[in-house]
Amino acid sequence: MKVVNLESQDSIISNYMAELRDCDVQQGRLLFRENLRRIARLMAYEISKTLDYAPQLVHTPLADRNVRTMNERLVVGTVLRAGLAFHEGFLDVFDKADAGFVAAYREEGTKENIRIQLDYLAAPHLEGSTFLLVDPMLATGGSLTLAYDTFCRNGQPRKLHICCVIAAPEGIRRLEEAFPSDDVTLWVAAIDDHLNEQAYIVPGLGDAGDLSFGEKLSH
């Protein structure tokens, strides 16, 4: 698996990341969601440089012109609910992409024995597609690998891009074990220090789902 860390080069993403992390700024839910969308749009642009293109004849009011346009079928798959705003940013750029959703949540536990539950799938067929699996936070990697396996009930994609805002080293190692092929790329806006005993990313930013949509009741 290839890892592309967008933080390794200065860009406006760093400004959006600072606002996402800041305890005072992040309390504005609208801005928090918009910063997730902004990062997704910029990440999608970087991904677009790696895709396949083919010439297409376009008829303008004055003459015809050959232009190179993207020639891949994209599917953007998201883990509910924290991934929703991030997901929208990718669809802003890849406006013809299909979309899929799974609902995954973690049961309480430490990072050594945490359990992931998944109870919803709505997705198109993935066979032969370029699949973007997007989720803001890569902690243990458990929910992402489970989500991918679940999406693959609908077919095997040709290429896989995993897209996250913040990743922990533990989660990256798990994905490297799960996806050893060079056909898989992990895109991240930042790689943080470690996971704490509750499997939250440190320093991280807190709970992306709660910051986007409000606190949830646990059942």
- Among 61-65, 74-78, 171-175, 196-200, whose mean pLDDT is lowest? 196-200
- Whether 175 shows a pLDDT value over 90: the answer reads yes
**C-alpha to C-alpha distance for 201 and 191, rounded to whole angstroms:** 10
Cα gap 156→153, rounded to integer Å: 8
What is the pTM for the complete model shown?
Answer: 0.92
Tell me the pLDDT tens digit for each residue of 48-101.
999 999 999 999 999 999 999 999 999 999 998 888 999 999 999 999 999 999
pLDDT digits (tens, 9 = 90+) for 107-119: 655 555 566 667 7
Average pLDDT, the chain: 92
Spell out the residues 6+ positions from residue 115 whose beta carbon is closer than 8 angstroms to its own: 106, 107, 109
Q: pLDDT band at 209, cuts 50/70/90?
A: confident
